A = this chain, B = another copy of it.
Amino acid sequence: MRDVAVIGVGMTKWGELWEKSLRTIFVETALLALDDSGVDKIDSMYVGSMSSGLFVGQEHIASLLADYLGQAPVPAARVESACASGGLALRMGFMDVASGMSDVVLVGGVEKMTDVSGHEATYALGTAADQEYEGFHGVTFPGLYALIARAHMEKYGTTREQLAMVAVKNHYNGSKNPLAQFPFEITVDSVLNSMMVADPLRVLDCSPITDGAAAVVLCTVEMARKMKKPVIKIIGSGHATDTIALSSRKDVTWLEATFQAGKKAYSMANKKPKDIDVLEVHDCFTIAEICVIEALGIVEKGKGGQAVEKGITSLKGKIPVNTSGGLKAKGHPVGATGVAQVVEIVKQLKGEAGERQVKNARIGMTQNMGGSGGSTLVHIFERE
């Protein structure tokens, strides 16, 4: 296998982009990444998108986007693993370059979620759960994560305030990210007094509905060196699945797919949790971030809530988590999220993260998750 580097990243402002279509959002973003990389010819491309069929009535989007990007006839593949579609696209691009099939690969993620009503968006997102055993009974994602939150509080004494602190931390980081959908701070009080969605989760515990895209360009490390580019290597890639239905798990507070994907990524990278300098994780709900940092071994099992309260994961903490603002403040265009995490980590490792820069960050990690944890992608990056 050949060594693979990220040589360009691109992201545009996320939000409710009613004046733009899916193809516009993607092409603008992909052009930024190509521009950043300094290449204009790619060998293939991968697009992560969860449900362009239900959100905008368009499948076959990899071909569509290759066409609109002016890159046809290059091979273009759409990949999907619910909200982990972006991370999956990265893994496919990594494999493509590592295998020797392609030298330069564009990896993008995109979702246009606001062309449908809130009800329709909730239905579309719900298709990431087990439709026959969960969706059929009316359970949607806020409900599933509320069950996880309640169990975590019962089992480990995690407090309602600790959940809120995840959102407060991520909004603080997001306030320093001009591309974030909600670039402003919030307080614990405002979370605790926000509208109830699914007890104990309130609206400020939930990531929003977002339109947006993100893109990165991959090539061999050898080529990146020749181009005199800063070399950000992908040193670990882990991908794992778990039961899709929450009811089939032994312990709903434990994200087995995240644990397994993390294990593979750490082993491939020959790194340990303590080696990670900066980390982007899938905080679709505040409780998710707490469970994820536990499953990745960043903190002990059951100690995720306390870690946030102690500031361990804050911007100036021991291991800053979600410096971009996370899904909570940056936004969550589902298929784009996994790629946007890479954009943030690459910026951090290159020292280009502005006001939210983590000092001397050399090793970074991304964790991107589908459904209630039925699939997870973990990647580890190192600045050469």
Contact = CB atoms under 8 A, between A and B. Distances in A.
Contacts of A53: 51, 53-54, 124, 127
A95 B105 CA distance: 14
Contacts of A248: 67
Interface stretch (A226-234, A239-247, A301-309): A239-247
Interface string A28-48: 000000000000000010000
Interface of chain A: mostly helix, strand, loop or mixed? mixed
B81 A80 contact: no
A66 to B, nearest CB: 5
B75 A240 contact: yes
A20 to B, nearest CB: 12
A99 B4 CA distance: 12
Interface string A75-116: 111111110000010011001101111000000000000000
B98 A60 contact: no
Given A67-B243, A131-B58, A1 B92 contact: no
Contacts of A124: 53, 59
Contacts of A123: 57
Interface residues of A, number: 63
A9 B57 CA distance: 33
A329 interface: no
B59 A51 contact: yes
Contacts of A1: 99-101
Contacts of A62: 80-81, 241, 375
Contacts of A91: 75, 77
A364 interface: no
A273 interface: no
Contacts of A129: 60
Interface string A217-260: 00000000000000000000001111111001000000011001
